[in-house]
Amino acid sequence: MTPVGRWARSIPSWQLTLGAALLVLGFLVAAQLAAQGPRVRYTTQERTPLIETATQLQAQQDELKGAILDLRSRIQEVEQVGQGSAVVVRQLNADLQDARIAAGLIPLTGTGIVIQLEDSLEPVAPDGNEGDYLVEARDLRAVVEELWIAGAEAISINAERITPTTAVIDVGPSILVNSSYIAGPYQVTALGPADLYSRLAAAPGFVDLIRARSQPFGIRVSFAEPDSVDLAAFAGTVTLRYARPLPSPTAVAPASSAP
């Protein structure tokens, strides 16, 4: 055995084990340090671009948040305007409905009365006028006028709806209402409040009309107060061929005075 071998055999085994362990540990530490250098260099090189990217993304996010808040504000404004427009549209529709009712363009049903006028059955006096014993256009016009005064909301004569442009005139043996020739008996149907009959019966003008036409000439006047009355819509034209709107005073520019 060589001197080296004898020296190795003389070293205790635990010292050999400890030396091997320290050798392995040193190798691992050296390998870790060798790997740590590139990773540190990589992190140092990439830190600035990453910070810039994060800053840009944060700025874009802030812009998007601002855009979202702005859009929400605009949506609220549009909703508020839409609500106001809806109110205006509802009011316009209500006004249009009232105008159509006033023009007689919508059929109606409701409480009301029916007044029937018929020619007299009494003989004409020797010195009398035969026309006085017949229902005339003036009688119907007077009844319609008294009904309006009493609170009627819509009126028709023999199913012809009375409108602001309706004419009731005598044409030979018949009466022209709107563009229809009607003959007796004449039924004047009026839609209005539940007490329309009592209002009409207490009207001095209507009382005078009945006295003037029924008592001396025998014109027959009867009343009916059904549960409901039906009025058909006006079937004629509403176009005014010979009318034109007046210019608005605000649309006319004032004449400039000469210097």
Q: How far, in Å, are 122, 129, 133, 171, 172 from residue 183 at the CA level?
A: 19, 20, 15, 11, 11
pLDDT at residue 42 tops 80: no
Sign of CA dihedral 117, 119, 123, 129: positive
Q: What mean pLDDT do residues 234-241 have?
A: 71
Rounded-to-integer distance, Cα 117 and Cα 77, Å: 62
Quote the Cα angle for 118-122-128, to 5°: 105
Of 11-15, 20-24, 29-33, 172-176, the range with the lowest mean pLDDT is: 11-15
State the pLDDT confidence band at 254, using cuts at 50, 70 and 90.
low
Quick one: DSSP state of residue 184? S
Q: Do 219 and 135 form a contact (C-beta atoms < 8 A)?
A: yes
Token couple for 57: 């993304």
Rounding to the nearest 10 degrees, give the CA dihedral for residues 182, 183, 185, 188: 20
**157 or 22, which is more confident:** 157
Rounded-to-integer distance, Cα 161 and Cα 135, Å: 19
State the pLDDT confidence band at 136, using cuts at 50, 70 and 90.
very high
pLDDT value at position 22? 64
Token couple for 90: 């509802």
Closest CA to 132 of 189, 215, 204: 215
Of 35-39, 173-177, 180-184, the range with the lowest mean pLDDT is: 35-39
pLDDT value at position 78? 75
pLDDT at residue 179 tops 70: yes
Highest mean pLDDT among 7-21, 49-63, 134-148: 134-148
Token couple for 159: 């199913």
Rounded-to-integer distance, Cα 159 and Cα 162, Å: 9
Q: Can you point out the beta strands (E) in 103-179?
A: 108-110, 112-118, 154-157, 160-161, 168-171, 174-177
Q: Do 130 and 107 form a contact (C-beta atoms < 8 A)?
A: no
pLDDT digits 0-9 by tens, 191-224: 999 999 999 999 999 999 999 999 899 999 999 9
